[in-house]
A and B are shown apart, each in its own frame.
Chain A
Amino acid sequence: MPQAFTSITSPAAPLMQANVDTDTIMPSREMRQVSKTGLKDGLFANWRYLNAAERVPNPDFVLNQPAYKQAQILLVGDNFGCGSSREFAVWALAEYGIRVIIAPSFGSIFFANCIRNGLLPIVLAQADIDSLAAPMPSPVTVDLQTQMISLGENENKNKKFAFTIDETYRNMLLNGLDEIGLTEKNRAHITDFITADQARRPWVYKQHKQET
């Protein structure tokens, strides 16, 4: 069951590069076990470490900078999470502690994977992301109830950005909905549809396997 999401206040780490792919977020060689956990050390391994094998941190990488070490919000560039479908990328981000990713656009499989794991992917205009990144490292509050991003404490107190997310996704995240559990309640409904479909497309339901 995914963790429910309501609101979070945290520094927002800027990683402003376009087309950051899931191979970069979670390199394939870091996916070592058939497991959803044990992944956080592999997150951004190629960028985060000077030497990935020995885990020597790269001081230039944003999540290694003291101000962003505890960041739960990532500010990123266009088409974030493009590439491979590996959900390991989202599991690694979640295990590391990231709860919100703000981008001008996302890879579509990555976006869907975020929703299923209690991570909030927010689509925001580049200019707004830039202005969120500017007054760093003051904390940012993301509220899913009100669909509002606001800057805290300092002189930017009144800066707010509205965002929208599909109502379905919002509900799923707010309630930490278990999708399989939900759909299973509709089992009879699905059975009815399949029965009708079997009459429409009977060959689809047959196994025409010829052994060679």
Chain B
Amino acid sequence: MALTVLDKIWSLHELPPPPNDPVTKDNMPLILIDKIFLHERTGAIALQNLTERRLSIREPEHVFCTMDHIVDTKPGRPQISRMPGGEAFIQALRKGAQQHGLTLFDIDSPHQGIVHVISPELAIVQPGLTLICPDSHTCTQGAFGALAWGVGSSETEHALVTKTLYLKKPPAMRVWLEGTCPQAVTAKDIMLWLIAEKGAAGAQGMVVEFAGPVVSAFDMEARMTLCNMAVEFGAFSALIAPDEKTFAWLKDRAYAPKGDAKGGDWGQALAHWRTFFSDEQAEFAVDMRVDVSKLKPMVSWGTSPEHAVPIDAPVPDFAPEGVAKKANKKASKTADIKKAQKYIGVQSGQDMRQVPIDAAFIGSCTNSRLADLRRAASILKGRKIADGVEAICVPGSRAVKQAAEKEGLDKIFQAAGFAWHEAGCSMCFYVGGQGFAPGARVITSTNRNFEGRQGPAIRSHLASVETVAASAIAGYICAPDELPANIGAK
């Protein structure tokens, strides 16, 4: 039988039904969970609940914790957290990790950073593994050919105690990317296009496998950006079959199997990893092909990632085809669009390229890795951001920050007028504490433009790092290939 990557991972992790179990008998098997990651924002409460219930963790050596969501990222980290009451979450995670004997990458660890950045950096995620984290962007890690997904606290607790989860097998969808990717078009733009085209529920409940020549040509960072945005597409998770690039990334990282191709754990693991590809005849519940040749840099205009347009297209007054064509949904969608336009302060027919911005943000698990920062720096080099724009760059991890500084990227960002922060989630979301000026219009490399996501009345415009950098220089929303040569030149 022809199998998908998902099928292959699944069959290795599905337990036979236990005798007399009331749950698994209805097609909801127990699935083995290989690795668990926790962060202070949602992990602390899970550990606290276990302590209160006097439950212990089955395999603490396979559970990892990081501080990313609410740690201070201002240069030098003058505080522990800027969130009012935030310190309690940090202390609770420290206490929980210690009580349960878990590996914690604390604020001062050289490995600290956004969970979905450091897990691949340390090779904790590996092909063919199951990995969960109480965080919806865990799908990012599927870029390594793992089944990685976000869960709530209750499921986290269940997996911590039992090393399993009850889970119905999600259907598989394939998105085959082909054609010649225009230079200004990135993984981020492809995802915004896809979500705008098919709707924020376009892949609902499915595991999206990204494949095709465009994906093969992408570096691991770009692949992570693709998978990261899958949750904004409604997906259960996303994955990419591992290949030589994946193996090269993992080799010799802290938690990678030791040895070489000829032997040791690495050799054994490698042979196993090479089995994770979708067979030629494998069937997908949804199989779509996208020719990326005609795509443009994208920018969001509304309050859902599906509210996005190619940079030269007018703001629409209709919902994405994938959703709105169900006729009876149209009315409510139109009302949603009006509401979103009102919140963001744009109108149908408007050209987004004329919209001035107040702030620019580069960071988050979508776009804060070394390759992202290099691409942004290549645009910022020798230029200055527009007057009055507040621009911030937050590397995804301390390792990224250090590597970037070694190359002098921090100097380029700072010379351009960007603030250069410590690693963390930072202003990807708002918890009180640090934020943009109320009502500010922000061009951002993050993944969510929800109402208030980045702060009260903040208007977020999602885009690629290149578009964020170009817009910061221009002072208005601007694609990297449309940035006039004389603007911002020093």
Contacts and interface: CB of A to CB of B under 8 A. Distances in A.
Contacts of B152: 85-87, 90, 109, 112-113, 116
Contacts of A212: 110-111, 254
A23 B450 contact: yes
Interface string A104-131: 1101110011001100000000110010
Interface stretch (A3-11, A25-33, A61-69, A141-149): A25-33
A184 B158 CA distance: 9
A109 B151 contact: yes
Contacts of A24: 450-452
B22 A182 contact: yes
A114 to B, nearest CB: 9
With a 10 A CB-CB cut-off, give which of B19, B110, B136, B200 has the most chain A CB atoms: B136
Contacts of A34: 44-45, 48, 88-89, 92
Contact of B323 (A78, A171, A200): A78
Contact of B12 (A108, A180, A200): A200
**Interface of B (DSSP majority class):** loop
Contact of B18 (A16, A35, A186, A194): A186
Nearest to B167: A112
B109 to A, nearest CB: 10
Given A109-B151, A116-B152, A172 B329 contact: no
Interface string A134-157: 000000000000000000000000
Contact of B154 (A21, A23, A117, A130): A117
A28 B154 contact: no
B429 A23 contact: yes
B286 interface: no
A82 to B, nearest CB: 6
B84 A32 contact: yes
A171 B162 contact: no
A36 interface: yes
26 contacts: A16-B332, A17-B336, A19-B304, A29-B83, A34-B92, A36-B45, A79-B199, A85-B134, A85-B150, A86-B41, A109-B152, A112-B155, A113-B155, A116-B152, A126-B328, A168-B28, A177-B22, A177-B23, A179-B154, A180-B161, A182-B22, A183-B161, A185-B18, A186-B30, A190-B32, A197-B12
Nearest to B448: A83
Contacts of B150: 85, 109
Interface residues of A, number: 70
B55 interface: yes
Interface in A168-182: 168, 171-172, 177, 179-180, 182
Nearest to B303: A19
B411 interface: no
Given A28-B430, A29-B432, A186-B30, 5 more contacts: A19-B304, A83-B448, A85-B135, A179-B166, A204-B129
A29 B450 contact: no
Contacts of A187: 162
Interface string A196-212: 01001111101111101
Contacts of B200: 18-19, 79, 82
Contacts of A35: 45
Contacts of A107: 234
Interface stretch (B265-273, B309-317, B363-371, B468-476): B265-273
Given A105-B201, A183-B164, A190 B23 contact: no
A19 B451 contact: no
A18 B336 contact: yes
B153 interface: yes
A133 B155 CA distance: 33
B195 to A, nearest CB: 11
A107 to B, nearest CB: 7
A173 to B, nearest CB: 12
Given A17-B335, A35-B45, A87-B134, A116 B154 contact: yes
A5 to B, nearest CB: 16
Interface stretch (B173-181, B255-263, B379-387): B255-263
B451 A203 contact: no
A78 B265 CA distance: 47
A189 B29 CA distance: 13
With a 10 A CB-CB cut-off, give which of B27, B135, B205, B332 has the most chain A CB atoms: B332
Interface in B356-407: none
A168 B23 contact: yes
A208 B129 contact: no
A117 B329 CA distance: 29
Nearest to B138: A85
Contacts of A177: 22-23
Given A24-B450, A87-B152, A112-B151, A193 B332 contact: no
Given A29-B431, A168-B26, A87 B336 contact: no
Nearest to B268: A203
With a 10 A CB-CB cut-off, give which of A85, A113, A179 has the most chain B CB atoms: A85
Contact of A183 (B153, B162, B332): B162
A171 B323 CA distance: 32
A167 interface: yes
Contacts of B48: 34
A123 B319 CA distance: 21
Nearest to A104: B329
A46 interface: yes
10 smallest A-B Cβ distances: which pairs? A116-B154, A87-B152, A113-B152, A203-B265, A79-B201, A186-B18, A85-B150, A189-B18, A29-B432, A203-B257
Given A17-B332, A109-B136, A183-B164, A208 B30 contact: no
Nearest to B253: A210
A87 B452 contact: no
A84 B23 contact: no
Interface string B70-110: 00000000000001110011001000000000010000001
